[in-house]
A and B are shown apart, each in its own frame.
Chain A
C-alpha cells in the first residue's frame, strides 16, 4: 500500500500507564487486559488519511523502564510525534512527566509534536489527576492534550490522528525545516529521512 507520508511516533511514559494498550487499541481496535510487559520496543503501524493523503503511522511503543539507554535513544531517532502517557489514577506517573519530557526533548527532533495523554479515563472513580492539571501541564510545555481510555477506546483514535494532523500542519506551514532536519538525522534514521527525500519541501513517498 502506498502512502504519501510516513510519520514515526514514539509512545513514552511510566511503566504500566497503558502505552501498549493504547497502541493495540489504535492498531487492532481491541483491548487486552493482560499482556506482556514491554521489553525494549514494540511496533505498530496503521494507515490514516489526512487532507486526502494517505499517511502511514509507524508507532514505536517503548518500555517504561529501560536499563540500556543507548537503545532508548535510538527510539527517538526520526520520530515526528510522541505520545507522552500518564495514568490519571496514579499521580506519580503524572509527576514524572517533566523527566520524560526532558528526555524526549533531549533525544529528538526539536520539532517533534508531543501529545500528552492522560490514560485510563474510564476509571473515573479512581482518578488521581484532574483533567485540568493535565491541561495546565500541556499548556505550560506546549503540548497537545487529551484524556483517553485504551479500554473503552475513548479518544484513542483522536489522540493518534490529532497528532498526525499537527505534524501535517507543521509540514504545510514549513515549520518543519525538513531538509535541515534531514541532514541531521539522515544517517541515523532512514525512516524519517525517507519521508523527506523526494519532494520539494515536504515529506514523501515510499511504496
Chain B
C-alpha cells in the first residue's frame, strides 16, 4: 500500500498507461487510473491481469528516468516498488510495461477499468495537498479494498456495478460511534459511513432518530431513553387532546376538514407496501392518520398538505411506533415544512436551483427543456416536494433517504424537540366559542386552511347546510364530509405500535366488521409505547423486538352511524396485491464485517480519547465534534489540538462535509466492478459544461451526451481524455451548500442524476413536455437507486470540490 504520510504532494489519482508486450504481437495499450491510497500491488496485478485477460504469469516494470534523465524500465515487484513508481514516475502518468511469460490466450480487445478507476480522475486537479483525504481514505481504504477484493473479478453485472462500496452500517459498527455510556461521539463518521453504504434495515429504526435530529446534543444512552419516554408521553397528550374533542363533538370544522383530507390521503399512501396494504382497516393506516392529524393540529402554520403522508409513511414503517414516528416526523418537518408552506418560496428556490444545475451541467439538455417549455422544471415537482421518496422502490427509498440525510448538517434541537409549534394552543381545537376573544385564535386555523385549501374557504358559498356549522354529534360531522366510517375508526381507536410481524408477514386483514371496529377503542391516555425500553437497548436487540399486542378497549363514546356506507368505500380502495414487484430488499452480502469491525475499532480508540474530554459537547449530531473530527484527520499534530469551544457555523459543517463527501467517492471507485461507463458519464457531463462555457460546440455535446445514459463500456479513453477538459468552472456559479437546494444540496444532485439518466431518451425521441413528464411519471418507484446514488455522489463531489476551490481562491 502506498499512503505515505507527509508527502508534500499527495496524489489521489495516478494515471496509468500500460503496454503489454507479448512476443511478436503488436503491443497492446490500456489506460486507467488508480487511487494510490488504496491500491496494493496485488490489486494492480489483478487489474492488469483482468484488463488484458492474462491467464498466466507476467512481470511489470515501469518507466523511470535515471540520473542522466534517460528513460529506463525498472521492475515492479512489490508494494514498495509500486509506491516508488507512484512517487517518482507518475507525472503526468505512470507507464507500465507488462511482459508476458510465453503462454497466454485471449487478447480480447476490451477496455476494462480497474476497480479503482474513476473518481480519482475526477478528483484530479483539485488536490489541495491536504492530508485529510489520504488519512481518511487509508482508514477506510483497507476495509474497502478487502471487501472489494471479494467483488473483484470484473463481474460487470449491471446490478452490482453501482452497488455501494461499503456495506450498510450494522449494529456492531454503529456501537463504535457511541461511547460506553451511549453518547454519540462520532456523528461524522456515522454519517460518512451512511453516506457510503446506508444502514442495515434492522438498524434503521435507531439510527434514523439520530440522523433526523430528534435528540438534543449530549445525551447518554440512558438519557436518550428517558427523553424518548417523555416525548412519547407528550405526543400522546397532544394526540389525545384532539381526539377527545372529536369524541365530544367539539372539534372545530377546520380540523375536521383536515382530518378528512388526511384520511383520504392515508388511504392512498404506499398501499402497495405490505406495511400499509390490505384492507382500509389496516392499523398502520390509522397510526399514520394519527401522526399526520396531530401534526396538522399542532402546527397550524403548516397544517396538512398533500405530500406529507408520503413523507411520514417511511418513518412509520421504520419506527413501527406511532409516537416515535411522530418524533421523527416533527424533526424531519423542521427541515421540510417550508416545502409545504403556502408561499412556496422554498420550492421556488429549489426549482430555480435545479434549473441552474441542469443549465450548467448539461446545456444541451437545458436548451431542449427550454424549447419544450419545461425549463421551469415543474415536472420535477414531486421529486422536490417529497425529496425523491417516490422515485425509487419503497425499500430503496429508505436507503436513498438515509444517504441523503447523512449529507445534511446535524441540527439537534437546543433543549428538546418541539412537538408543537409555539403558536399552538389546545383551545384552538374546539368549536368556535361565542366569545370574540377566542374567535381570533380560531381564525388562525380558518385563515390558514382557507389559504391552503382554497376551495374550502368558501364555505359561505355552499348552497345548503351539509357542511355543518354547528356540531351536534360526532358522526354527523364526519359523515357530512365523508361517508366512510374509517375516520371514526381512526379517531376512536388507539393502536399500539406496529409490531415487526406486521412488517414481515403479509398483510393482516382485519376481519372485524366495521361495527366492531367502531366500538373498539383504547382509553384516551391508555397507550404507552412498549418499545421504549428497546429504544435504549436496540443497539443490541434491534432485530428481535418483541411484538406487543394491541390493547383494544371499548369506548362507547363513538358510535358509527355511517357503517352502511363502509363497504362501498372500502371496495374503492381495495388493494391491488399484484403491485408488489417494487419491494425487493436489496442487500449487500459481500462485505466482510469482520474487516469493518477491525477498522472501526481502531478508529474508535483514537477518537474516544479526544472525545472524552468533551463529552457534553460532542454527542450525537452536534456540529462540534464534526469540525474537530475533520481537523483531527488533517494532521497528527492537530489531533491533539484543543476542542473548539463554540459550535461551528452551518457553513463550517458544509466545509467538513465537503471534505467528507469528496473523499467518499474515492472509496466508491474501489467498487470492484467496471465503472467505465460511470466515469464516462461524468466525463461527459463535464465536457458538456466545459464546452458550454466555451464555444458551445454542440456537436461535441451530443456525441458525448448520448453516451451517458447508455452506460456502455466504451472504455477509459474517453474518461481519461476528459480529464484534460475538467475545469468545473461553471459549477462555481452555483450557490454554496448552505443555500443550494434550499438546505438540501444533495437532493439537487439526485434530481440532476434522474434527469441525466433519461435525457438521451428524451432528446432522441424529441419528447414534448407532456411526453417527457409521462416518461418520468412512468419511472415512479422504478429508478435504480444504486445507479442513481452512484452518479449523484460523483456529481455532488464535483460540486463540493468546486465550492471548496472557490473558498480557497477567495482566501
Contact = CB atoms under 8 A, between A and B. Distances in A.
Given A16-B264, A32-B576, A34-B271, A74 B378 contact: yes
Contacts of B310: 37, 39
Given A39-B382, A39-B385, A65 B467 contact: no
Contacts of B565: 89, 126
A193 B159 CA distance: 44
A91 B305 CA distance: 21
A165 interface: no
Given A33-B572, A89-B483, A95-B466, A65 B261 contact: yes
Scoring B371, B461, B572, B774 by chain A CB atoms within 10 A of each residue's CB, the highest score goes to B572
B373 A189 contact: yes
Contacts of B307: 39, 67
A65 B463 contact: no
A40 B268 contact: no
A2 interface: no
B430 to A, nearest CB: 22
Interface stretch (B315-323, B341-349, B668-676): B341-349
A198 B347 CA distance: 37
Given A36-B268, A191-B769, A92 B381 contact: no
A69 B455 contact: no
Interface in B397-424: none
Contacts of B341: 67
B774 A41 contact: no
B261 A96 contact: no
B344 A70 contact: yes
Interface residues of B, number: 64
Interface of A is mostly: loop
Interface string B266-281: 0011011000000000
A175 interface: no
B104 interface: no
A90 B483 contact: yes
A184 to B, nearest CB: 15
B482 A99 contact: no
Interface stretch (A42-50, A109-117, A155-163, A166-174): A42-50
B454 interface: yes
Interface string A14-47: 1110000000000000001111111111111100
Scoring A33, A41, A65 by chain B CB atoms within 10 A of each residue's CB, the highest score goes to A65
A63 interface: yes
Contacts of A190: 371-373, 769
A33 B576 contact: yes
Interface in B89-146: none
Contacts of A96: 455-456, 458
B463 A90 contact: no
Contacts of B483: 89-90, 126, 128
B665 to A, nearest CB: 31
Interface in B755-782: 768-771, 773-774, 777, 780
Given A90-B482, A123-B568, A190-B373, A70 B342 contact: no
B457 to A, nearest CB: 7
A41 B380 CA distance: 10
| Closest 10 pairs between A and B when the two form their complex, measured CB to CB | A40-B381, A99-B455, A96-B455, A68-B344, A95-B462, A39-B382, A16-B264, A37-B268, A65-B306, A99-B458
Interface of B: 261, 264-265, 268-269, 271-272, 305-307, 309-310, 339-342, 344, 347-348, 371-373, 376, 378-379, 381-382, 385-386, 390, 452-459, 461-463, 466-467, 480-483, 565, 568, 571-576, 579, 768-771, 773-774, 777, 780
Given A39-B307, A40-B385, A96-B456, 20 more contacts: A16-B264, A33-B572, A33-B575, A34-B574, A36-B268, A39-B306, A41-B381, A42-B773, A42-B774, A43-B773, A67-B339, A68-B385, A70-B344, A74-B378, A89-B568, A92-B466, A95-B463, A96-B455, A99-B456, A189-B373
